[in-house]
Amino acid sequence: MHRLTSVEELEKIRKITLEEKSKKSSCLTVCLGTGCQAYAGQRVYETLKKEITSHNLTAEIELKATGCRGFCEQGPILVLYPGEICYCRVQPENVPDIIKTTVIENRIIEDLLYQDPVTGQRFIKESEIPFYRNQSRIILGANRFINPQDLGDYLAQGGYRALAKTLEEMTPEQVIAEIEKANLRGRGGGGFPAGLKWETTRRAPAKKKYVIVNADEGDPGAYMDRSLLEGNPHLILEGLSIGAYAIGADEGFIYLRQEYPLPLENLSIAIKQAEEYGLLGTNILGTGFNFSVKIKRGAGAFVSGESSALMSAIEGKIGEPRPKHINTALSGINGKPSNLNNVETWANVPIIIEKGAEWYTHIGNATNKGTKIFSLVGKVNNTGLIEVPMGIPLKKIIFDLGGGIPGGKKFKAVQTGGPSGGCLPQHHLDTPVDFDHLHELGSMMGSGGMIVMDEETCMVDVAKYFMHFLKDESCGKCVSCREGTRKMYEILEAITLGQGKEEDIPLLEELAWVTSNTSLCALGRTASNPVLSTLKYFRDEYEAHIREKRCPAKVCKALIQYTIDQEKCNGCGRCRNLCPQKAIEGEKGSPLTINAQSCIRCGICREACRFEAVIVR
């Protein structure tokens, strides 16, 4: 392939690609994102390939491995076009039947269709499934048509059209004006206006400037960035290139979390392809614009996702935050003006440029435009990635898209904003999900983690969990952050062990105040949110632990006891065989008992019991 030297050449190759693809009468797509791979997705793909060949169907069917489609709970997902017939939880043994019945005989296999867990209704088309129907997938939507390792697929979806438009028709000022008009706010958590940040770096007096993608995705429980990078890497490269043109940068970096091997692979391939086609490098599309991109890997440090820390890491130093007397937008990598945005922020850019700010601002509410991708996980039926217009109520996300709480349990809280965020209770479920409303309630939009908790989640344990995370991840530079998080953790731990004292709650509040007001970076400044929000909305749980030495959710091991319901137990002995402590006593065939002395409350017996005879008190 020779380098594309003009926009006409780009359009020509797009036309050829589309013609090539239209020769095949149908397309079978299989999700091979990280989630579906964990469910034997790769073997499904290999079996499909074999079956298609053995039926001599290769000329008619395009088999395509796509990135994450979001509905990870139902993976591996397979969709056949035309018809958009969607099969869920496909296993390799289903493949011969799919080829024979659906591909050749054009009949549907009922058992493989998605079935609503509540109504029992089955759905044929992917877009009709309630999980998808309620979304606006303007960014994630393309994932389902794209093999991330094939630039042709991206071009067939209109890829690099926005870059071409930028380079041919727009001045850098016009690009920034469009982003400002779209009111694009940073998706990495802070919600800072991207246009304003770009403008600052653009105006900074320096020849050398950098643009950076923050793909550190440190929020545990969130994987939106992973799916975007892994499923549609060219989208991020295109957004970054447009930004580089507007800002006046000729070099870009992608700071990628080390725990993400598949995004690394797909992104590396995408960069190489873009370079070969002249979509990256010198004189891009013959317009005189030069821009190159390098990948830098993180190595498992949450704090390195903070802007100044991340830039130090890119320079090859330790990824620790520094005081930002001068903003990184003015003095970042090597002291040069550097513009950092989150993966999802960059992903919005080509769409805004192509469809226009006018179109874009119709999505969302007054001060929050566009969509947001959330990782809807935890105690919810439909776990996966969702993309919704900003301002949609929490309730709609959890109950309409998420399908509610599994096992008929009661909803307790939803955690957003990661370790800097908070937990919101039932009575705030009507809150519109956007940067401003969540902040008002003491939580945060964050980068998009949305963890649902039910009546069996202990809120003191959750606060302890986050404090454990933060005390480990604090870089230790600020005494208040290092010692504050550690002390708060110790107090929370004592409470969960039944050693809490009445004065612990005010002490926690005082420590929270000091930590948030005297720390350098946002890690310390927001570290208290998980404690403060649980104290605000779930104080009764703290009090039950402290005053009555009782864990209402029955989670804290020191405060619970396992026993066996003598009515329900038939003495089958399954739990006795599995108990690692040999704490279960009695004769086979008659109800068993648990020796409280040797029981370590690991819960294996409860998991093993088929008669729900093990109870926790």
Ligand X SMILES: Cc1cc2nc3c(=O)[nH]c(=O)nc-3n(C[C@H](O)[C@H](O)[C@H](O)COP(=O)(O)O)c2cc1C
From the CB of 513, what's the least distance to ligand FES, in Å? 29
Question: To 10 degrees, what angle do helices 459-473 and 539-547 make?
Answer: 100
Q: Residue with CB nearest ligand X?
A: 186
In the complex, least distance from residue 454 CB atom to another protein, rounded to whole angstroms: 8
Q: Is 303 in the site for ligand X (CB under 6 A)?
A: yes
What is the rounded CA–CA span in Å between residue 124 and residue 86?
A: 6
Complex with ligand X: residue 185 or 576, whichever CB lies closer:
185
**# binding residues, ligand X (CB under 6 A):** 23
Q: Considering beta carbons, is residue 222 or 392 the nearer one to ligand FES?
A: 222
Tell the smallest beta-carbon distance from residue 214 to ligand X (Å).
4
Provide the 3-class DSSP secondary structure of residue 576.
helix
Q: Which of 10, 352, 521, 556 binds ligand X (CB under 6 A)?
A: 521
Give the one entry of ligand FES, another protein, ligand X, none that residue 267 binds, where binding means its C-beta sits below a cut-off of 5 to 8 angstroms depending on kind.
none
Tell me how many degrees the CA angle 362-367-370 measures, rounded to the nearest 5: 40
C-beta closer to ligand FES: residue 343 or 584:
343
Choices 70-78, 163-171, 180-188, 573-581; region in contact with ligand X by CB under 6 A: 180-188
Q: Is 401 in the site for ligand X (CB under 6 A)?
A: no
**Residue 98 or 470 with smaller CB distance to ligand X:** 470
Considering the complex, state which of residue 392 and residue 556 has its C-beta at the smaller distance from another protein: 556
Q: Answer whether 557's CB lies under 8 Å from 599's CB.
A: no
Residues 201-230 that bind ligand X (CB under 6 A): 214, 216-218
For the record, the structure tokens of 470 come out as 């933060």
Nearer residue to another protein within complex by CB, 221 or 286: 221
Q: How many residues bind ligand FES (CB under 6 A)?
A: 2
d(CA 201, CA 388): 30
Residue 408, binding choice from ligand FES, another protein, ligand X, none, Cβ under 5 to 8 Å by partner class:
none
Tell me the residue type at 122: R
Question: Tokens for 342?
Answer: 């989150």
User: From the list 302, 489, 542, 562, which residue makes contact with ligand X (rule: CB under 6 A)?
Assistant: 302
Q: Which is nearer to ligand FES, 193 or 221 (CB)?
A: 221
446: contact with ligand X by CB under 6 A: no
Q: Does 468 bind ligand FES (CB under 6 A)?
A: no
CB 188 within 8 A of CB 342: yes
Tokens of 537: 């909305």
Asked if 523 touches ligand X (CB under 6 A), the answer is yes
Q: Which of 400, 408, 402 is nearest to 378 (CA)?
A: 402
Which CB atom, from 220 or from 571, has the smaller least distance to ligand FES?
220
Cβ nearer to ligand X, comparing 295 with 578: 295
Of 256 and 376, nearer to ligand X (C-beta) is: 256
Site for ligand X in 45-84 (CB under 6 A): none
From residue 193 to residue 232, the character string flagging contacts with ligand FES as x (rule: CB under 6 A) and all else as - is ---------------------------xx-----------
- What is the residue whose two structure tokens read 């043994």? 93
The distance of closest approach from Cβ of residue 447 to ligand X in the complex, given in angstroms and rounded to an integer, is 6
> Quick one: 221 or 498, whose CB is closer to ligand FES?
221
Provide the token pair at 509: 């509040």
Q: Which of 291, 5, 285, 17 shows the shortest CA–CA distance to 151? A: 17
Q: How far apart are CA 194 and CA 340, in angstroms?
A: 9
Ordered DSSP codes for 95-142:
HHHIIIIIIIT----GGGSEE-TTT--EESBGGGSHHHHT---TTGGG
CB of 415 to ligand FES, least distance (A): 12
In the complex, least distance from residue 72 CB atom to ligand FES, rounded to whole angstroms: 11
Nearer to another protein, 148 or 378 (CB): 378
CA dist 157 → 59, 67, 160, 170, 280 (Å) = 22, 15, 9, 22, 19
- Greatest alpha-carbon pair distance for the chain in Å reads 84
**Tally of CA atoms within 13 A in the half-sphere of 539 that contains its CB:** 9
Site membership for ligand X, residue 368 (CB under 6 A)? no
* Contact between 139 and 373 (Cβ < 8 Å): yes
Structure tokens that stand for 581 in this block = 């402590």
Catalog residues that contact another protein under the rule CB under 8 A.
Answer: 34-35, 37-39, 72-73, 217-223, 226, 257-261, 296-302, 313-320, 375-379, 383-385, 415, 418, 449, 451, 453, 457, 462, 465-466, 469, 473, 475, 578, 580, 600, 602-604, 607-608
Q: What are the C-alpha distances in Å from 91 to residues 56, 73, 77, 409?
A: 22, 14, 10, 30
Answer yes or no whether residue 306 interacts with ligand X by CB under 6 A.
yes
Minimum distance from residue 189 beta carbon to another protein (Å) = 15
What is the CA 43 to chain-centroid distance, rounded?
A: 25
**How far, in Å, CA of 169 to CA of 430, rounded?**
44
**How many angstroms separate the CA atoms of 199 and 248, rounded?**
10
Binder of residue 172, out of ligand FES, another protein, ligand X, none (CB less than 5 to 8 A by kind): none
Q: What is the DSSP string of 318-350?
A: -------SS-TTTS-GGGS-EEEEEHHHHHHHH
Q: Which of residues 510-539 bind ligand FES (CB under 6 A)?
A: none
333-352 residues in contact with ligand X (CB under 6 A) are 340-342, 345
- Residue 221 CB, shortest distance to ligand FES, in Å, is 4
Among ligand FES, another protein, ligand X, none, the one that 67 touches (CB under a kind-dependent 5 to 8 A) is: none
CB 315 → another protein: shortest distance, Å? 6
Binding site partner of 248, from another protein, ligand X, ligand FES, none, Cβ cut-off 5-8 A by kind: none
* Bridging pattern class, strands 251-256 and 289-297: parallel
As measured in angstroms, the least distance from the Cβ of 202 to ligand X is 15
CA distance 390 to 399: 17
Q: Give me the least distance between CB of 219 and ligand X, in Å please.
A: 6
The pair of three-digit structure tokens given for residue 464, joined into one six-digit string: 């302890």
Cα–Cα distance list, 458 to 226, 462, 488, 534, 599 (Å):
29, 6, 17, 10, 21
**Interacting residue ranges for ligand X, rule: CB under 6 A:** 186-190, 192, 214, 216-218, 302-303, 305-307, 340-342, 345, 447, 521-523
**Interacting residue ranges for ligand FES, rule: CB under 6 A:** 220-221
